[in-house]
Amino acid sequence: MSTTTADFRAARPTAAGLAGTGGITLVCGTRPELIKLAPLMRAFGDGCAVVYTGQHYDRSLYARIRADLPPSEAFHELGVGAGRRGGQLGRTVSAVDEVLADRPGRAVVVQGDTTSALAGALAANAHDLPLVHVEAGLRSHDRAMPEEHNRVLIDHLADLCCAPTELNRGHLLAENVPDERIAVTGNTVVEALQAALPATDDRRAVLAARGLERDRFVLATIHRPENVDDAGRLAVILRELGRLPLPVVFPLHPRTAKSVEAFGLRHLLEPLVELEPQAYPAFLALAAEAAVLVSDSGGIQEEASVLKRPVVVVRRSTERPEIAGTFGTRVLPGPAIGAEVARWLDDVAGHRERLRHLPSPYGDGSASARIVTALNALLAQRAGVTAG
């Protein structure tokens, strides 16, 4: 089942390979998961059920989540909500288990490394349903990250690990995941982004509505617990953003907003162009036209490589090292943020032209077709074993 990176960038599967995949259940709970699973929802068609756990519970963010999705006749909203990690996981496993008991389907698909993804994996395992892990094999080697534990557990439960890159496949093999359970597929973020990215004129209209000019602003997002749950660290990041020489557009994540209020840091937002959370196309319009991105988001690291924009990653570790030295660099909170942004601002046009010619390490936009092909093979194999 395993393929090489060269393989998945070569012949692109056709729509004919997507037939016969009804009865698939996608389990997810956050906006990034839904964005990345949307191409699979379209590929699976009417036979696809979506279980949305409600791990992202902010109503304004949720409205944008639903706006990003293709229509689904079987959309189960569980409303699990926030809480301590252990309690949230337990509630989510129980809720997904009930859905699968009523509608087991043929296989369960989870994406990434969230609590919802782990819950979906555990519930699928309890029902003896084939489990597909989209975005398998990512490793930060940072055990302080809850997501690292989640992704490792899901990979070892999965019947099919869809690894975006050969590096991810290598991580799985090093952990003794059998090669026949791995398929190198690319990442569905490529086609999700390509479908959602507004045309040039529409992007310019988004900028004009906010008084922005192409390559004359920085787009920043900060939301990870390691950065926003610590008052000192969050203050350092916001101060560094406020000192940058260009306007900094800052869509405020609900988690970050709560921390800003709780820690009394509202004054540090004053130098920034604060925005409410953006719909995915509007966010991509800003990202595509920015001089540089500053973020702690994993997805934005991938998106930067598709948009051909530089990203300064503000984290202690990353599970996406494929962009290091090309599209992005990782720094810790502090003066390194400003120094690295300044490096990218030294020749914005030149960097834009250079990055334009670099391929994204995450594939050619056919990951969902490759995932469906691999899943079809898995289901056919299981059917043959059962028949035998």
If asked whether residues 12 and 110 sit together in one domain, one would say yes
If asked whether residues 143 and 226 sit together in one domain, one would say no
If asked whether residues 97 and 229 sit together in one domain, one would say no
Q: How confident is the model at residue 83 (pLDDT cuts 50, 70, 90)?
A: confident
Domain housing 181: 5-188+365-387
Burial class (CB in 10 A: 0-12, 13-18, 19+), 5: middle
Mean per-residue pLDDT for 231-240?
A: 98
Q: Is residue 55 part of a domain?
A: yes
Per DSSP, the three-state class of 74 is: coil
If asked whether residues 215 and 169 sit together in one domain, one would say no
If asked whether residues 111 and 222 sit together in one domain, one would say no
Q: Is residue 193 part of a domain?
A: no
Q: Provide the 8-state DSSP code for 324.
A: B
If asked whether residues 44 and 169 sit together in one domain, one would say yes
If asked whether residues 76 and 41 sit together in one domain, one would say yes
If asked whether residues 245 and 340 sit together in one domain, one would say yes
Structural domain tally of the chain? 2
Segment 324-383, tens digit of pLDDT: 999 999 999 999 999 999 999 999 999 999 999 999 999 999 999 999 999 999 999 988
* Residue 20 predicted with pLDDT over 50: no
User: What angle in degrees, to the nearest 10, is found between the helix axes of 335-345 and 231-242?
Assistant: 30
The reported pLDDT for the residue numbered 56 is: 63
If asked whether residues 302 and 232 sit together in one domain, one would say yes
If asked whether residues 150 and 11 sit together in one domain, one would say yes
The reported pLDDT for the residue numbered 55 is: 72
If asked whether residues 202 and 291 sit together in one domain, one would say yes
The verdict on whether 171 is a catalytic residue reads no
Give the CATH number for residue 238: 3.40.50.2000
Average model confidence (pLDDT) across the chain: 90
Q: How confident is the model at residue 309 (pLDDT cuts 50, 70, 90)?
A: very high
* Residue 13 predicted with pLDDT over 50: no
Among residues 76, 133, 171, 223, the one annotated as catalytic is 223
CA distance 388 to 370: 27
Q: Is residue 280 part of a domain?
A: yes
The reported pLDDT for the residue numbered 383 is: 84
CA distance 309 to 290: 8
CA distance 116 to 61: 17
If asked whether residues 85 and 161 sit together in one domain, one would say yes
Angle, CA 114 vertex, CA 162 and CA 170 arms, to 5°: 35
